Homo-oligomer: A and B are copies of this chain.
Amino acid sequence: MSKTVHQRRPPASLTAAVDLVIFTVRDGRLHVLLIERGNMPYRGEAALPGGFVRDGEALDAAARRELREETGVADDSLHLEQLHAYGDPGRDPRGRIISIAYLALGPDLPMPQAGTDASAAHWTPVSSILDGQITLAFDHEKILRDGLERARSQLEHTTIATAFCMEPFTIADLRQIYEAVWGLPLDPSNFRRKVMKTEGFVIPIGERRLPDVGRPAGLFRRGLAETLTPPLTRSGSVDLM
């Protein structure tokens, strides 16, 4: 047998799609953007937003385009990274479609509702999918779980938690992101110490925000650092339950 043995079998011809796991944090809980499917299959069911990759279009570009179409948000203001490729035969009843899933993180955005694809989109608490209240079309629950695990891990090692925050933000805002994504309460004092000690994580802008109640909090914007050394460990939690 020669090296070309697998060339004898015709390569499968298929279609590529991108699916997006778009996370945000609203009132202390992690939400994901879901759409209600307007076409068969799974018509009327909840699914991750996504669409087909076009001719001559790069994967990242397709993901950016879908993100823009689904959220109406300017391109570069959201964090977007490739998550995983899903290509099991039979994952889509329409045929052989492999999906490149992307993870997007953003602040709690005003969702444009009219005149765009986003009209069918809803922010949904992630917990309501994890506990089975809502089921997703295709293999989208698996994709969502993988995206959640990636987001949780990224918070430990990188500064992307700031992508969830609208600038300027307070240390408490940032802490709520961690608590929502990890599902754990954190000690405010220790959290602040770790964040402040990491050079370039957040930069004070010298102003303060007056809350409804309590002492005013210092305001910050994102720093230039991308990686956390040392990492923020998930273990340092307070057990309030």
Contacts and interface: CB of A to CB of B under 8 A. Distances in A.
B115 A12 contact: no
Interface size class of chain A, counting residues whose CB lies under 8 Å from the partner chain: 35 or more
A51 B119 CA distance: 42
Interface in A77-134: 82, 84-89, 96, 98, 100, 115-117, 119-120
A87 B16 contact: yes
A115 B55 CA distance: 39
The count of identical subunits is 2
Nearest to A2: B38
Contact of A12 (B55, B85, B119): B55
Contacts of A235: 229
A115 B5 CA distance: 11
Contacts of A229: 235
Given A13-B13, A53-B11, A59 B39 contact: no
Interface of A: 1-7, 9-17, 35, 38-39, 51-59, 66, 69, 82, 84-89, 96, 98, 100, 115-117, 119-120, 229-231, 233, 235
